[in-house]
């Protein structure tokens, strides 16, 4: 049965074999290439040692760095910026410049302003034009955050501090108009591996990406395996959980509005070299240039990790996300986010190409369309 035959209504719930209530009705995802509205590409700024948070003097300015968060920029923004803001205010300076208007720039500027500093964001691009605006928008605090073999001994504890701080502050945005931060159910769909499937060839370079999620098990919702009668998906195994998500457009608008209403300023300025900091009137600068730091600061420790999002027209009735055959789907108010994420975190590593790939986009959409095309008639009422 194709997507068109699934219908948009469902039962109020179906009883699972255990006697508990099954997952609620799920509106079907409308996966057709004709519904693609745009394709965006983002380069995640991966640093093997983790985010750069050190302090140095450049052009007679005290510079606090706050960049290089891999795929965890939005997730760790508040925690990382709390550290950067604290270091910027050491010594009693109350005039601070922030370079960059993405996730780290906005959160750094807000925290500094709320601490009583006079803050101006200097940026070439406003929020919607930054790479942060092209992020997937899911809570992923250790996504390509570092190489576990190359971090300092204290980094895991520092990461946990950033993650816990961010997690708490992000939740204060849940329930606000526009849903800048919200929760959604997620389903991880797993097929049985076909017999004799060959192993992929080893990559020329392999990074041992750090995985620290186990340090947060006391605060995040847990996933569970569903029994066959508890879900409608035609796969061997299904894990269900609930995860935080960032509706990036709304969140970025909220943070920008809050910063301006609280007395912050934003000025257009382009920086070509670190020496350009000498043009600023502020004695302290927080550098939140993300992947742009690779060119501006000649920071070769930043490796690009390409990620492409295929945007389909919004489906307000869809309130769940899923992962199936290396494709992730996330529902956002501004569109359905479909992303090919590969079979491991090396997917996209070292690729600096930001040109959209229509073939990759349509292949990802087709993978999810095929899944819904196999939903048995007897369970179609679930969707």
In a domain, 201, yes or no: no
For 84-127, how does the pLDDT look when each residue is reduced to its tens digit (9 = 90+)?
999 999 988 899 999 999 999 999 999 999 999 999 999 998 87
CA–CA dist 101, 256 (Å, integer): 9
In a domain, 200, yes or no: no
pLDDT of 378 over the 60 cut: no
State whether residue 230 is helix, strand or coil.
helix
In a domain, 204, yes or no: no
For the chain, the domain total comes to 1
pLDDT of 16 over the 50 cut: no
In a domain, 17, yes or no: yes
- Contacts made by residues 14-21, CB under 8 angstroms, sequence distance 24+: 14/229, 14/381, 14/382, 16/227, 16/229, 16/230, 17/227, 17/228, 17/229, 17/230, 18/227, 18/230, 20/230
Biggest CA-to-CA distance, the chain: 71
For 28-48, how does the pLDDT look when each residue is reduced to its tens digit (9 = 90+)?
999 999 999 999 999 999 999
- Per mean pLDDT, which range of 96-105, 204-213, 328-337 is the poorest? 204-213
In a domain, 205, yes or no: no
pLDDT band at 66; cut points 50, 70, 90? very high
In a domain, 151, yes or no: yes
For helices 155-170 and 73-88, angle between their N-to-C axes, nearest 10 degrees: 100
Alpha helices in 141-182 (DSSP H): 155-170
In a domain, 347, yes or no: yes
- Per mean pLDDT, which range of 186-195, 217-226, 242-251, 284-293 is the poorest? 186-195
pLDDT of 132 over the 90 cut: no
In a domain, 203, yes or no: no
pLDDT of 320 over the 80 cut: yes
Full residue range of the structural domain in which residue 50 is found: 3-195+210-382
- Per-residue pLDDT, averaged over 177-185, amounts to 95
């Amino acid at each position: 049965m194709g997507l068109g035959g699934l219908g948009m209504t469902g039962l109020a719930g179906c009883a699972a074999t255990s006697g508990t209530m099954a997952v609620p009705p799920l509106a079907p995802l409308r996966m057709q290439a004709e519904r693609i509205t745009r394709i965006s590409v983002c380069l995640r700024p991966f640093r093997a040692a983790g985010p750069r948070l050190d302090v140095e003097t450049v052009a007679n300015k005290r510079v606090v760095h706050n960049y290089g968060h891999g795929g965890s920029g939005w997730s760790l923004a508040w925690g990382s910026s709390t550290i950067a803001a604290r270091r910027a205010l050491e010594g009693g300076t109350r005039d601070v410049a922030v370079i960059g208007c993405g996730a780290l720039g906005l959160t750094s500027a807000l925290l500094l302003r709320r601490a009583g500093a006079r803050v101006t964001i200097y940026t070439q691009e406003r929020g919607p034009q930054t790479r942060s605006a092209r992020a997937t928008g899911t809570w992923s605090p250790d996504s390509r955050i570092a190489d576990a073999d190359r971090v300092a001994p204290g980094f895991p504890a520092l990461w946990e501090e950033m993650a816990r701080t961010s997690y708490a502050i992000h939740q204060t945005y849940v329930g606000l108009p526009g849903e800048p931060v919200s929760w959604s159910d997620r389903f991880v769909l797993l097929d049985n591996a076909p017999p004799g499937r060959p192993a992929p060839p080893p990559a020329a370079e392999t990074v041992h990406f750090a995985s620290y999620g186990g340090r947060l098990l006391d605060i995040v919702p847990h996933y569970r395996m569903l029994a066959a009668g508890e879900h409608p998906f035609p796969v061997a195994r299904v894990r269900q959980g609930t995860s935080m998500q960032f509706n990036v457009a709304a969140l970025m608008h909220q943070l920008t509005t809050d910063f301006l209403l609280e007395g912050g300023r934003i000025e257009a300025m382009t920086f070509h070299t670190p020496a350009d900091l000498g043009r600023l009137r502020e004695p302290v600068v927080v550098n939140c240039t993300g992947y742009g730091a690779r060119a501006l600061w000649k920071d070769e420790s930043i490796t690009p990790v390409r990620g492409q999002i295929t945007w389909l027209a919004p489906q307000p009735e869809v309130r769940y996300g899923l992962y199936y055959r290396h494709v992730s789907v996330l529902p956002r108010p501004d569109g359905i986010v479909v992303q090919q994420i590969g079979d491991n975190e090396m997917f996209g590593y070292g690729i600096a190409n930001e040109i959209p790939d229509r073939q990759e986009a349509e292949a990802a959409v087709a993978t999810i369309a095929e899944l819904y095309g196999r939903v048995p008639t007897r369970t179609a009422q679930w969707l």
